[in-house]
Amino acid sequence: MTRKQLKVMNLLLVLLLLWNPIVLWQYYQSMVIAFLLPITIVSIGLAISRVRSLRLKVWAFNLAAIASILFHAEVIFTMVYAYKEIPNLYELHGKYYFNKPYLDQQFNDPEFVTRYKTNCQGYRVDDLSSQNQKIEKCDWLFIGDSYTQGAQVEYNQLFSSLIYKDFPDKVIVNAGISGAGLYDELNYFKDKGKKLSPKVVFLQIGAFNDFMNIREHQPSLQDYIMEWSALYRYFEYNIANSDELPLGRWTEPFFPNKEDNIDNNIFFKQTSDYKEADKRAFKESISEFKKEVESIGGKLVLIFIPSKEQISPELLKEVLDEYNISKEEIDLSIPNKLCQSVANALRVELYDLTTEFRQSNSF
């Protein structure tokens, strides 16, 4: 064997060590990945070894080595420190997130203990339902963010489940996803919701975050890494994401500085071009939602859920004092009026729950 052939052989052995088929099989539980990936890497390495450019060879080897280090760090974290893993309930579908199928996750939080189980389509189901059972059609489809999703309560405590007790003849599906905005929900409906042929689509709107940053989600590299890497999620949630909540709770749409309130706080009277663009986008998204629902013969109904500050004078005062906002600078009825005006213009039914929440004996 010549010296050149020996170098090539050593390089291929190093590449196989960096991308060990046994480790790949252990992690992915797939023989295809375990053999195809190393063969691909070795083939590329063999081809590059014949190129004269030393710079290209160095770059290629370094990239393979760095990728291997990151991969093995991921393997070690998921196998040795599995108890620290941040559960990933969602998968990216282009411009929106949705539940992963076949989830069976137990949440043990200091504030709640729940079981989160989904079927083969990613829809949440109760403990007795088979995960292989597919939902073909529904009468009523509830779409919204975390208020609709209700991950902090058991399936039978979801408001959509409670409604089913009064309407047992209806097939009701809950498609709530934490953090979803209006365009995320619209893109979900175009992609998945339509297939259920719902007769009525209930779209939940919250004063908390549905009146700001209204635009389509454009997936980034970070989104894909967050979905794939448990180690990255751990660092993102526990180290990189060091934002402190001044009041120990989320207070959107209220913000500590005036500029953010002018641009994003729907309750803040002073406005800006940015906020006015969001108001137009709000109407446009609801209008497009209505067209999509009616295109399959369905009916769109809006549900407005108020913020805590709209319900509790004590929590409102707490926020205003902390962020140095005067009562004269805000109008808590602005989102309600905007919702009603859009509903009237589009001839869409609206359930504004603000009064009912205020009158409820249970906060």
pLDDT along the chain (363 residues), means of 10: 66 74 85 86 82 86 87 87 81 93 85 89 92 96 95 93 95 94 97 97 95 90 85 79 74 94 96 96 98 98 96 95 96 97 97 95 84
pLDDT at 4: 63
| Helix (H/G/I), strand (E/B), else coil: 300 | strand
Confidence at residue 3, expressed as pLDDT on a 0 to 100 scale: 67
Whole-number Å distance between alpha carbons of 243 and 75 = 28
Quote the pLDDT of residue 276: 97
Residue with tokens 């067209």: 291
Which pLDDT score, from 0 to 100, does residue 6 have? Answer: 67
What are the start-end ranges of the E strands in the chain? 90-92, 97-99, 104-108, 113-117, 140-143, 172-174, 200-206, 299-305, 349-352
Q: What is the CA radius of gyration of the chain?
A: 26
DSSP assignment of 201-261, as one string? EEEEEETTTTTSS-S-----HHHHHHHH-HHHHHHIIIII-----TTSS--TT--SSHHHH
Distance of CA 157 to the CA centre of its chain: 21
What's the pTM value of the predicted model, to 2 decimals? 0.86
Give the pLDDT of residue 49: 79
Distance, in Å, from the CA atom of 155 to the CA atom of 87, rounded to the nearest integer, reads: 18
Domain residue ranges of the chain, discontinuous segments joined by +: 3-80, 90-359
CATH topology classification for 90-359 = Rossmann fold (3.40.50)
- For residue 311, the model assigns a pLDDT of 95
